[in-house]
Structure 1
Amino acid sequence: MQHQSFDAGGVPSAVQPFKRPAVIGIGSWGTALGATLADNGTSVRIWGRKAEAIQDINANNRNEAYVAEAPLPPSLHAVHKMADAVRDADVVLIVVPSSAIRSVSRQVGEYLAPGTPVAICAKGIEAETGLLMTQISEEELPGHPIGCVSGPTFARETILRHPTAATVAFPFSPLDRISPEKSPAVRLAVSLTTEHFRAYVSDDLVGVEIGGAVKNVIALACGMMTGAGFSDNTRAALITRGLDEMKLLSAALGGRRETLTGLSGLGDLTLTCNSTTSRNMSLGLQLGAGTPRAECFEGRPVVVEGEANAVSITDLARKLSISMPICETVRAILHEGADLGQAFAALWARPLEAEPMAMEFAIAHPATDKDIATLAERIS
């Protein structure tokens, strides 16, 4: 199937979708992306380790373990062997937790044909190296175009075919700019686009990835303050100033600030900070309400990406001399034993700053120690 697009001069050109996509990861988001690709009539292979999920997809066109609400397209086929998924794939989407990106990328590389594009669909920064997810895969998959898919997307709503938008980002070579319809980003965007899923294209890989990583930490902050009994004013302030932290870190790494006002930045930040469907927001709510970390999620070992990224993001920011006070506050509470009330009261009592940043000044906050202690008590 070919899709019509138009180049900069308005001349129509054909975009060839990928014909043999593979999705690595059989969890909720991997299943959602696999189903979206398959909704276009494409035969899609999805790899996973859980035998019951593989059996359920192949026998019943469902994945009851992760996303039970809707049937899956019959052209979505689950496999247990990595070789069966990727050996003759023409594009691969890696959809696993951020902590597994390095090992899974290495495993994919054992079978992947040279030059096959790979899109990373995980969000975060590696703790040991400070690398973005795509940078990890670039190390493990040399010679392959590496990009990402990111945006304000909950798996369940995507599976239910709610109107959804996301960003597909890859670096653009000079040839990609001359013939964008042949670029991995455009081809994958067209492959994912259906009547309910709309994909946008970006060449700012750094900006897109920073948005996806930092928004989880800001969502933890929003959840904590909401759980402590505060509401819309507080959350709006955290979202807005959190967006500024995202822009600062992105710019320091070579990304464009305007990327963070798009789907992968402000869009994803707004979604994650306003819904308990987000595990980051949900964990923050429980902590803000006074639930000990070990008892959150009823004691289940739920992976919350922002929890680890609060450290990796602030480590990177410190190396770059970037001020990220909201992320630092979350880190202090989660990893350094800081009292939640005192930490957020100190955040609110920081010196007053200017908007825009170009004014470059700060003045002491007029609150007294007593005022700050009172706020800390209210938060706690």
Structure 2
Amino acid sequence: MGQSMDAIVIGAGSWGTALACVLRQGGHRVTLWGRDSAQLADIEGRQENSRYLPGLKLPAGLRVQADLNTAIAELPTDQPSLVVSVVPSHTTREVLRGIADRLPSQALVVTASKGIENESLSPMIEVMKQTLPAALHSRLAVLSGPSFARETAEGQPTAVVSAAEVRATAEAVQAAFQNGAFRVYTSDDVIGVEIGGAVKNVIALSCGMAEGLGFGHNTRAALITRGLAEISRLAVRLGGNPLTLAGLAGMGDLVLTCNGPQSRNRTCGLLLGQGKTLAQALAEMRQVAEGVKTTRSVHDLSARVGVEMPISQAIYRVLYEDRPVRQIMSDLLGRPPRAELG
């Protein structure tokens, strides 16, 4: 466990709240910010995020702040602090741009959002670089891995990865988050960790769709395995290490998100497989399914760099070309035979 520091978690959804719990349990002084001031007041009054983690008592001393600039202004300027962005990936640029010139020079800035921006096709670390001052670029990190929010907040054993281009930054983030139940490994493969965390949500949509159609474990295993193959192809083409995709941010996160009933993306796919439209499926869900927007980014990015990703492309056709789910599954099975490792 690292030295106690001041930390701000930006985003009061389920995952932001869970990470705020981890940091507070580790003895840090933690402030949680969210867009909805009424929700924050409810969190403060109940000591519970009743919207996203109902019934779970939050650690004593966890503060909330409705004004992000005020929270940033309270960070020390003469010692390291921690700023953790857990807002949806499509809002990350906007939120960080608003605080870029106010962040202390010693802040560690961590993204725990999993996605690829639609317009720029940039993963979150690149959005951070494009948005934040160059002096902070050596202090940027990604936190990713198989971690459902409620189980993390409850203190169930969880393992994730801190990835940064600068080893000391990855290790500082590791030390800040590590506690008795939350184990953090380090990596210098930022792009591999980010691609694994983002694209697994697309594959989880496919697993949910298959389940909604009534298919069983054989189909899910095939989608997970072939999904991992196409995630790895994209990551390697972008400069990632293939071994990263066999680890926590790759296979680990993929298996969890494709199988776990708490998975938002699997649930969204399930509703689509049962015949709901995308609008109906999203209306039923209380939280963001990152894979929906990421599917468009992956479709465009894979085309730009020339990587074959048939499952991801099939999900794109369902979401953005209104193709029937059952027809897409048939199309995938009807592809010409090929060698597994070819």
TM-score range, shorter chain: over 0.9
The secondary structure found in structure 2 opposite 1:110 is: helix
Query: Which of residues 206, 217, 228 is equivalent to 1:221?
Result: 206
Q: Which moved more, 1:301-310 or 1:99-108?
A: 301-310
The secondary structure found in structure 1 opposite 2:102 is: coil
Partner Cα distance (1:82, 1:252) in 2: 37
Alignment match, 1:91: 82
Partner Cα distance (1:240, 1:249) in 2: 15
Partner Cα distance (1:274, 1:243) in 2: 14
Is 1:74 equivalent to 2:60 in the alignment? yes
Alignment match, 1:188: 173
Query: Which of residues 92, 108, 117 is equivalent to 1:101?
Result: 92
1:89-146 C-alpha deviation (Å, 9 max, x unpaired):
5121001011110011112213211242211111111111110011011111022122
Is 1:61 equivalent to 2:61 in the alignment? no
Which amino acid is the alignment partner of residue 129 of structure 2?
E
Partner Cα distance (1:300, 1:31) in 2: 18
Higher gyration radius (CA): 1
Map of 1:2-17 to 2, 5 A cutoff? 16-17=2-3
1:216-237 C-alpha deviation (Å, 9 max, x unpaired):
1100111111111111110000
Contact kept? 1:18, 1:187, Cα under 8 Å: no
Shift, 1:163, TM fit: 1.1
Q: 1:287 to 1:60 in 2, by over 3 A?
A: closer
Q: Which moved more, 1:83-92 or 1:257-266?
A: 83-92
Partner Cα distance (2:295, 2:283) in 1: 23
Alignment match, 2:197: 212
TM-score by length of 2: 0.93
1:45-98 C-alpha deviation (Å, 9 max, x unpaired):
111222233223334422222212321112211111112322325121001011
Where structure 2 has 5 or more consecutive residues not aligned to the other structure, the ranges are none
Query: Which of residues 332, 335, 338 is equivalent to 1:350?
Result: 335
TM-score by length of 1: 0.84
The secondary structure found in structure 2 opposite 1:93 is: strand
Contact kept? 2:4, 2:29, Cα under 8 Å: no
Partner Cα distance (2:174, 2:301) in 1: 31
Which amino acid is the alignment partner of residue 288 of structure 1?
G
Greater RCO (CA < 8 Å, at least 6 residues apart): 2
Report the number of matched residues: 334
Which amino acid is the alignment partner of residue 101 of structure 2?
E
Contact kept? 1:18, 1:91, Cα under 8 Å: no
Alignment match, 2:273: 288
Alignment match, 1:324: 309
Is 1:124 equivalent to 2:115 in the alignment? yes
Shift, 1:292, TM fit: 2.6
Partner Cα distance (1:64, 1:343) in 2: 38
Contact kept? 2:192, 2:241, Cα under 8 Å: yes
Alignment match, 1:29: 15
The secondary structure found in structure 1 opposite 2:185 is: strand
Contact kept? 2:164, 2:190, Cα under 8 Å: yes
Q: 1:33 to 1:302 in 2, by over 3 A?
A: closer
Map of 1:305-320 to 2, 5 A cutoff? 305-320=290-305
Shift, 1:276, TM fit: 2.7
Shift, 1:17, TM fit: 3.3
The secondary structure found in structure 1 opposite 2:28 is: coil
Alignment match, 1:374: none
Partner Cα distance (2:336, 2:120) in 1: 32
Query: Which of residues 257, 269, 290 is equivalent to 1:272?
Result: 257
Query: Which of residues 284, 289, 293 is equivalent to 1:304?
Result: 289
Partner Cα distance (1:128, 1:284) in 2: 24
Partner Cα distance (2:283, 2:65) in 1: 32
Alignment match, 1:150: 144
Shift, 1:325, TM fit: 0.2
The secondary structure found in structure 1 opposite 2:184 is: strand
Q: Which moved more, 1:243-252 or 1:187-196?
A: 187-196
